[in-house]
Amino acid sequence: MKKIGVLMLVGAFLLSSVAGCANIQNDQTRTKTEGTLVGAGAGAVVGGVLGQLIGGNTTATLVGAGVGALVGSAAGFAYGSHVANEKAKYAKQEDWLNACIASAQKVNADTRAYNDRLASEVRSLDAETQRLARAYDQKKAQKSQLLAEKKKVDKSLATAKQKLERAKYELSTQQKVLADARSAGKAQHAARLDQQINQLKAQIAELEGHTQSLASMSARMSV
């Protein structure tokens, strides 16, 4: 558990730095920086968990977190650059807004599909972890069986957290675009964006529920 605690602190530190981006006045620079930090934080979490699964010690966890942060930073910067540069690519604001709406629709569809798959996976893992926990209490299962199942749960949890951060970043970006659309008097585009934002909020809430369930299962398998 100490290794997971260290890992969470690494991820939290990186992600909390996103708040400081509000002081960056240039839109493109701010969006690139936010993308980099979100990618780094999510990468650190995923890399750290995988490092623990492979190495099984604190050193492996921290090495995995460091590698994951670097990879995540690159991916996050690429995504942030894409969003930041969209506005500059289009001669008309309407075309840029349409591109932003299309991006929101894609993230919504991807998150919805992932939630559907994850819901089935969560049900299966929940049933198995409950079975193993009962068997362990009755001395019919070994500690190694619980730890093996915990690794499966932790891997699924790491992926879910990464997806969640991606969806939250998209939500934050689209909320800024919505503000731009409203200030420019683009009522139709604003209404379409608002619809996508509300759908994304619902998908994020569902994904948060899944991550909480997975976290509970991981704790259940801790012996």
Average pLDDT of 68-82?
A: 44
Match 């509000």 to its residue by tokens: 22
36 and 122 belong to one structural domain: no
CB 48 within 8 A of CB 65: yes
32 and 119 belong to one structural domain: no
* Domain final residue, candidates 89, 123, 147: 89
* pTM of this prediction exceeds 0.95: no
Match 């807004």 to its residue by tokens: 97
The closest of 127, 119, 121, 125 to 150, measured between CA atoms, is: 125
Model pLDDT for residues 105-162, shown as the tens digit of each residue:
888 999 999 999 999 999 999 999 999 999 999 999 999 999 999 999 999 999 999 9
Average pLDDT of 71-91?
A: 53
Average pLDDT of 90-111?
A: 87
63 and 101 belong to one structural domain: no
> What dihedral angle (degrees, nearest 10) is formed by the CA atoms of 76, 211, 8, 130?
-150
- Domain extent at residue 51: 1-89
105 and 79 belong to one structural domain: no
Instruction: Please say whether the dihedral angle defined by the alpha carbons of residues 87, 93, 99 and 100, taken in this order, is positive or negative.
Output: positive
84 and 137 belong to one structural domain: no
Query: Cα–Cα distance between 48 and 41 in angstroms, integer?
Result: 11
Model pLDDT for residues 201-217, shown as the tens digit of each residue:
999 999 999 999 999 99
* Domain final residue, candidates 35, 57, 89: 89
Instruction: Please say whether the dihedral angle defined by the alpha carbons of residues 74, 78, 83 and 89, taken in this order, is positive or negative.
Output: positive
* Domain final residue, candidates 54, 69, 89: 89
98 and 84 belong to one structural domain: no
Task: Please state the domain count of the chain.
Answer: 2
110 and 166 belong to one structural domain: yes
CB 103 within 8 A of CB 169: no
- Mean predicted lDDT score pLDDT of the chain: 75
Confidence band (pLDDT; 50, 70, 90) for 86? Answer: low
Single-letter code of the amino acid located at 220: R
Confidence band (pLDDT; 50, 70, 90) for 10? Answer: very low
Residues 6+ apart with CB under 8 A from 179: none
